[in-house]
Amino acid sequence: MPNDPLSLTRRAFGAGLAAGAGYLALALPVRALTVDQARALVDKAVAEVNATISSGKSEQGMFKDFERIFSRYSDVPTIARSALGVAARSASKSQLSAFTKAYQGYVSRKYGRRFREFIGGRIEVTDARPIKSYFEVVSVAYLQGESPFDLRWHVSDKSGKQLFFNIIIEGVNMLASERTEVGALLDKNGGNIDALIEDLKRI
């Protein structure tokens, strides 16, 4: 597993929210989705994130909540395929299915552990605007002991549903960050997708 700081940083916070929410946006125009709908989607996701971090639940309870939020507001199969990268082209249908399930759990546990470190923090949505083929929803994250920082959600309906597909934290693209981490795990397993899946289940 790649080196991963134990203490929460702004970048780790953003990656936790994004968890695996980064997949490549297709260059097709958004037609049905509106800026108000995009903002409403992120408002709901943020409300659930805020509720979870202030719930006082156990670590395992928080893991379950974040996995539910992840699966509800993002296109998990597409995100997982992007995280797997080039290897997804040679993966079988059953491997992709197993990887998607393992990746969803991995992301929830990985960042769920960090979420417990910023109990008392919150996210506030402040604006939304169209950008080419998707919408960008702007929010501000407040963590204890740190200055507020910018957090931008990219929302699209290309999957057939209104979902977010990437988060930009102070200019850092979490799509690329997650893909790099999973790529490093795959390399550690010699490019073996089945071994990667088992590794993700244990982490």
Distance CA 197, CA 185 (A): 10
Mean pLDDT of 108-112: 79
- Phi then psi for residue 8, to 5 deg, are -70, 135
pLDDT at residue 2 above 70? no
Annotated domain spans of the chain: 10-202
Q: Please report which confidence band the pLDDT of residue 79 belongs to, taking 50, 70 and 90 as the band edges.
A: confident
Distance CA 200, CA 109 (A): 10
Tokens describing residue 193: 């997708």
What mean pLDDT is reported for the chain? 84
Q: For residues 104 and 11, which has the higher predicted lDDT (pLDDT)?
A: 104
Q: Kindly report, residue by residue over 155-179, the tens digit of the pLDDT.
A: 999 889 999 988 888 888 877 888 9
Distance CA 83, CA 30 (A): 23
- Whether the Cβ atoms of residue 35 and residue 130 lie closer than 8 Å to each other: yes
pLDDT at residue 7 above 90? no
Query: In terms of Cα–Cα distance, which of 7, 68, 18 is closest to 182?
Result: 18
Helix (H) or strand (E) holding 29: none
Write out 121-149 in H/E/C secondary structure. Answer: CEEEEEEEEEECCEEEEEEEEECCCCCCE
Predicted local distance difference test score (pLDDT) of residue 22: 46
Radius of gyration of the chain (CA): 16
pLDDT at residue 18 above 90? no
pLDDT at residue 21 above 70? no
Q: For residues 195 and 60, which has the higher predicted lDDT (pLDDT)?
A: 195
Q: For residues 50 and 95, which has the higher predicted lDDT (pLDDT)?
A: 95
Residues, the chain, total?
203
Fold for 10-202, please state it.
Nuclear Transport Factor 2; Chain: A, (3.10.450)
Q: Please report which confidence band the pLDDT of residue 10 belongs to, taking 50, 70 and 90 as the band edges.
A: low
- Whether the Cβ atoms of residue 169 and residue 151 lie closer than 8 Å to each other: yes
Tokens describing residue 123: 């996210």
C-alpha dist (Å) from residue 1 to 22, 27, 189: 19, 33, 10
Tokens describing residue 140: 């501000």
pLDDT at residue 93 above 50? yes
pLDDT at residue 26 above 60? no
Mean pLDDT of 114-123: 75
pTM, full prediction: 0.77
